[in-house]
Amino acid sequence: MILRTERVHGGEQQGLILVLCAPSGTGKSTLVKRLLAEFPRFQFSVSCTTRKPRSGERDGVDYNFLSKETFLSMKEAGEFAEWAEVHGNFYGTPRGPVQDLLNQGKDVIFDIDVQGATQLRQSFPEGLYIFLLPPSRIELERRLRGRETDSEEAIARRLGNAAAELAEARHFDYWIVNDDLELAYDDLRAVYLAGRKKPVFRPTLLQTILRTFQ
């Protein structure tokens, strides 16, 4: 695979946020890994959680592990770009570190659920919000069964969740159908590269070029 670098032609490059949501089994993780491999400028933000570290997890690397009191204090202070409570534990993405990465010209990728994406849009409305669609319910069920990791109950639950998540796809800026992995990746890559050309992410470029006319 050829790693590509972008010519900025002078002017500051502001980082962007790419948010990818999809029902379980749609192939999101595979596409994210390919995007990270081709474009190393992408960064993952380190989220905060109140759950206990699992074996092998490192504080500040896998998560920032916080007490419930500290997390709720940060939430009340509006420090999270998005947060959620899952099975009695809190998870959240601090706004400050994400903004620092963007200011450094780094792009930040979020593999997140629709609830988190909705909250992120309030903090970062200029991001690229992409929903990855399965081609059909039948195909999604086939993929879930092909993983051979879920019980019948779990598969039924995931399919039910998928229907609810798909109902929220209308709030996203881009839809990509993962019927063919190569074509889906081409579409994802195209959205990302086009997004990086938006003026909001190149705030000084025009002035840099205009100065050459003086």
- Would you state the CATH architecture of domain 45-104? 2-Layer Sandwich (3.30)
pTM exceeds 0.85, yes or no: no
Contact at 8 Å (CB) between 108 and 98?
yes
pLDDT of residue 112: 83
Assigned CATH class of 13-41+107-214: alpha beta
SS (H, E, C) the chain: CCCCCCCCCCCCCCCCEEEEECCCCCCHHHHHHHHHHHCCCEEECCCEECCCCCCCCCECCCEEECCHHHHHHHHHCCCEEEEEEECCEEEEEEHHHHHHHHHCCCEEEEECCHHHHHHHHHHCCCCEEEEEECCCHHHHHHHHHHHCCCCHHHHHHHHHHHHHHHCCHHHCCEEEECCCHHHHHHHHHHHHHHHCCCHHHCCCHHHHHHHCCC
Check for a shared fold between 13-41+107-214 and 45-104: no
CA 2 to chain centroid: 23
Contact at 8 Å (CB) between 126 and 200?
yes
Contact at 8 Å (CB) between 131 and 22?
yes
Q: Which residues of the chain have pLDDT under 50?
A: 1-8
pLDDT of residue 8: 44
pLDDT of residue 12: 67
Write down the domain spans for the chain. 13-41+107-214, 45-104
Name residue 83's beta-bridge partners: 92
CB neighbour burial string for 2-26, b if at least 16 within 10 angstroms, e if fewer: eeeeeeeeeeebbbbbbbbbbbbbb
